[in-house]
Homo-oligomer: A and B are copies of this chain.
Amino acid sequence: MIDLYYWPTIPGRGEYVRLVLEAGGLAYRDVARLPVEEGGGIEPMAAIIEGRKGGFVPFAPPFIVDGGLLVSQTALCCAHVARRCGLVPTDPAGEAAALSIALTVMDLVSEVHDTHHPIAVSLRYEDQIDEARRRAADFRANRLPKFLSWSDNLIENNEHDSGWLVGRTMTYADLALFQTCRGLDHAFPNAMETAWPEAPKVKALARAIGDLASIAAYLASPRALPFNEDGIFRRYRDLDPA
């Protein structure tokens, strides 16, 4: 049994870990979303983050506890879970590539966060909206196309021509890209309408993952958290004009 610790009200970075758990069919507890009487709620997460449990203290959620092992940093959580259920390349080059890709995806996710919080996470969006407009414009014009083009080329140039980012089968790197595409479609529907025709391989990959029985069932379940305007991927008209 794997315990996942993440903020209970947003998909955020936790959703990346959930998707690997769900795609791999692993048993897990989403601790902060469990009732307090079942050992859930925010308190067990706070106890770890505040160092009251001893052991390594992660900087921020998400993190997972698997037996005696605590793993933090989103991409590392995903990689750990993926190793448990075979959603990893088995050769060293593929393993290194998958983790590099997952980390690059998480870097992009931080850039998405900063489109609505370019000045400070300690301030509200409304207090940095002018800066957000400027940063989001650059994100749409430069960063988003660069990231999608890089991803598309990885799939295009995969020596196994498998339709996945690395190797012959789906890995957690593909799941990370899938969730990011979902988020980008939510947050930047207008920009993505322009971007999608330039990234047909990414589009096909995202569709293939969305069609998986495990993923479709998960996304239709109450376990999946919908995007909302407290999370990382937010739909603000000012940041994605028509």
- Contact residues of A with B, CB < 8 Å? 51, 54-59, 68-73, 75-76, 80, 92-93, 96-97, 99-100, 103-104, 107, 110, 114, 118-120, 122-123, 128, 131, 134-135, 138, 142, 147, 150, 153-154, 157, 159, 166
The verdict on A76 contacting B96 (CB below 8 Å), with A119-B134, A131-B118 known, is yes
In the bound complex, how far is the Cα of B131 from the Cα of A131, in angstroms? Answer: 7
Residues of chain B within 8 A (CB-CB) of A110 are: 107, 110
In the bound complex, how far is the Cα of B53 from the Cα of A159, in angstroms? Answer: 13
In the bound complex, how far is the Cα of B128 from the Cα of A70, in angstroms? Answer: 40
Query: Counting chain B CB atoms within 10 Å of each CB, which of A99, A154, A166 scores highest?
Result: A99
Cross-chain contact A99 with B73 (CB below 8 angstroms) = yes
Q: List 21 A-B contacts (CB under 8 A).
A: A55-B93, A57-B150, A58-B100, A58-B104, A59-B100, A59-B104, A59-B150, A69-B92, A69-B96, A70-B96, A72-B100, A73-B99, A73-B103, A76-B100, A80-B96, A118-B118, A118-B131, A119-B138, A120-B134, A128-B134, A131-B134
A75's closest neighbor in chain B, by CB?
B103
Lowest 8 CB-CB distances: which A-B pairs, in order? A120-B138, A56-B97, A59-B104, A72-B100, A73-B103, A73-B100, A119-B134, A131-B131
The verdict on A56 contacting B118 (CB below 8 Å), with A51-B153, A73-B104, A100-B72 known, is no
In the bound complex, how far is the Cα of B128 from the Cα of A97, in angstroms? Answer: 34
